[in-house]
Amino acid sequence: MNRRMTMKKDGEVKERQRRYLDRLETLVDSIYALVIVFIVAGLPSAGNFEGDFSSAWEFLSQHSDELVTPMLGLVLIIMYWAQSNIQLGSLVSTDTTHASLVIVQVFLLLLYVYSTDFVHDFPEDNLVLAAQSVIFFLMGAVAFAAWSWAVSGRRLVSDEITDEEISIISRQMLPEPLTAFITIWFSFLGSTAWELAWLAYLPIAYLAKRVRRP
């Protein structure tokens, strides 16, 4: 009887944790979607600038500086969203520690949205670019911490996910924060150097894919 009650209680706890995970996924997806809409809606258009433009290409070529930074942010946010879906989709439940780390990442995402106003208001301030790099680095670091906690001892991960798949997902999470860390230092050289530094993502992602644990 006691064993049956214990098993029933454990089942109820797991079911409750699964529902918490579903709610967490819904919250994360909703915020990411809203942030993407906000950034796209805030992209500069020809109406925001003085002068006549004969074509869309003329406008884009003359004001590429105002477009590159938010587009970089948009690409990174979409990549982090895709990572989040892979990570949360590999779990069967969540707990207080894991959920708290995911919420911290969401807070950092919203902090990035707040920082975009400073990019427009202070375009010559390199500290703003450095701050955005720090935010993206912390987002990646916190996401990695949440995933590491979830897969440690396979405490939250699905039985269908193999150890090799866990290793692959872990490596796939590294390029974004590592690249963001590199761009922190390039931000002090100016916006062009900062933007070009993000290209370091390509070799880092390649190496992360190629390197395998012994």
| Top mean-pLDDT range of 46-50, 114-118, 141-145 | 141-145
Percent of the chain with pLDDT over 90: 54
Q: Are 128 and 118 in contact (CB under 8 A)?
A: yes
Mean pLDDT across 144-163: 92
Under the banding of pLDDT at 50, 70 and 90, the label for residue 68 is: confident
Instruction: Please list, residue by residue across 40-69, b when 16 or more beta carbons sit within 10 angstroms of its beta carbon and e when fewer do.
Output: eeeeeeeeeeeeeeeeeeebeeebeebebb
Q: What one-letter code names the amino acid at 73?
A: G
Q: Residue 213: is its pLDDT beyond 60? A: no
pLDDT on residue 84? 93
Under the banding of pLDDT at 50, 70 and 90, the label for residue 197 is: very high
Domain ranges of the chain: 2-210
pLDDT on residue 88? 92
Average pLDDT over the chain reads: 84
Under the banding of pLDDT at 50, 70 and 90, the label for residue 117 is: confident
Percent of the chain with pLDDT over 70: 79
* DSSP secondary structure letters along the chain: -HHHHHHHHHHHHHHHHHHHHHHHHHHHHHHHHHHHHHHHHTS--GGGSSS--SSHHHHHHHTHHHHHHHHHHHHHHHHHHHHHHHHHHTBS---HHHHHHHHHHHHHHHHHHHHHHHHHH-TT-HHHHHHHHHHHHHHHHHHHHHHHHHHGGGSSB-TTS-HHHHHHHHHHTSHHHHHHHHHHHHGGG-HHHHHHHGGGHHHHHHHHHH----
